[in-house]
Structure 1
Amino acid sequence: MEHGAGDLRIEEVARRSGVHRSSIYRRWGDVAGIVADLAHDIAAGLDAPATGSLRGDLEALAVQVAARLDGDGPALITALLAWSDPGVRDVLQQFWEERRATVATVLRRHGHNDDPASVTRLLAGPLYYQALIERRSPTHATISDAVSAAVARISVTSPA
């Protein structure tokens, strides 16, 4: 991928993997299939925690997200966001729909009917900013601030 993720071709994946391209096509079908599998791996373990409190659940979610923004996570995310393939864009859209659904589950569990997209933005935004813009792993302080912002919005918009 010397020329960027958007130039990724099945032939290159096969060459670097040391397998025939038909093996890659059989397993994933196309580049979007590879990305979908990768997104699935990234999403593994991003479930709706049940700590007993809204704040605890949101903090556990934020910690899960922050863990994926460590190491090579930011480079991978940057590459995926730059990808112009419609299939890859669809995979990313599905990934975020699933994250919003997880947040909706947490909100419902605690009797809130707030907009899960807004809460997701407040919760994930600072973590992604720190990882992608500041190029640092999200800190506990950033996680705490993000959770506080989300809880404050929830308290204002949808009382339990």
Structure 2
Amino acid sequence: MTSEGMNPGTTRPGGRTARVRSAVLRAAGDALAEHGLAGLDLADVARRAEVGRTTVYRRWGTPANLVADLLADMAEQSLPRAETGTLLGDLRANARLVRRTLADPRQGALFKAVIAAATGDEQAAAALHRFYDARVTEWEPCARQAVERGELPEGTDTREVIRAVSAPLYYRLLTTDQPLDEATADRAAEAAAAAARAGVFV
């Protein structure tokens, strides 16, 4: 069930509640990308979204709640996995999607802010874990199908294969000032595929 499915009034396409949520989450993402969690102010978000301050306080209550809903929305909006027919093709598609997201000036800054928030706030951390769990779940069939095709050994931890693709990209984003280019994404996919074929994830 999506987060919208749990809130009465948010499932009606084009409904006012859905429009308000969309505007507020967009404004929250902008504010996070600019100032981080410490600078995330609900009144400022309401002003940016052009909605009533009371609406934002009543629905979200705290910046951590807003971050949690933003991450839930990002998971819902993320593009579906690719199916190229080969392990390397699928992992490369995954790596390139992650790279495009993290290399985007707004999205990269947003992920840095959310990851920083998760280090000091349990609710933000739980929301971040749910976000990545949803993305790994979306892409895990790529590795599972590779096992079924005989590309990977039986007993492979297919979720760990997917994590191994994006981990180097996040590491580069957070620890260096080097660009996240497509060659870096392809190298991450190739390394994960090679390790998986060698049985590292069994």
TM-score, normalised via structure 2 length: 0.66
Query: How big is the shift at 1:58?
Result: 0.6
Query: How big is the shift at 1:63?
Result: 1.1
1:157 counterpart SS class: coil
Residue of structure 1 aligned with 2:133, choices 88, 97, 105: 97
Alignment deviations for residues 121-146 of structure 1 (CA, whole Å, 9 cap, x no partner) = 42112212333333344212211211
Query: How big is the shift at 1:41?
Result: 4.5
Residue of structure 1 aligned with 2:115, choices 57, 70, 81: 81
Distance 1:117 1:38 in 2: 24
Distance 1:27 1:64, change over 3 A: farther
Residue of structure 1 aligned with 2:55, choices 23, 40, 46: 23
Please say which structure displays the higher CA radius of gyration: 2
Identify the residue that residue 142 of structure 1 maps to in structure 2: 184
2:198 counterpart SS class: helix
Query: How big is the shift at 1:13?
Result: 1.9
Distance 1:38 1:136 in 2: 27
Query: How big is the shift at 1:40?
Result: 3.9
Percent of matched pairs sharing the same residue: 35
Verify the 8 A CA contact 1:36 1:91 in the aligned structure 2.
yes
Verify the 8 A CA contact 2:95 2:185 in the aligned structure 1.
yes
Verify the 8 A CA contact 1:100 1:116 in the aligned structure 2.
no
Identify the residue that residue 62 of structure 1 maps to in structure 2: 95
1:118 counterpart SS class: helix
Distance 2:200 2:112 in 1: 34
5+ unaligned residues in a row in structure 1: which ranges? Answer: none
Distance 1:82 1:51 in 2: 34
Residue of structure 1 aligned with 2:82, choices 39, 49, 56: 49
Amino acid at match of 2:140: A
Query: How big is the shift at 1:15?
Result: 3.6
TM-score, normalised via structure 1 length: 0.81
Distance 2:192 2:170 in 1: 15
Whether 2:172 is the aligned partner of 1:130: answer yes
Alignment deviations for residues 93-121 of structure 1 (CA, whole Å, 9 cap, x no partner) = 10111122233221112225422453234
Distance 1:19 1:69 in 2: 29
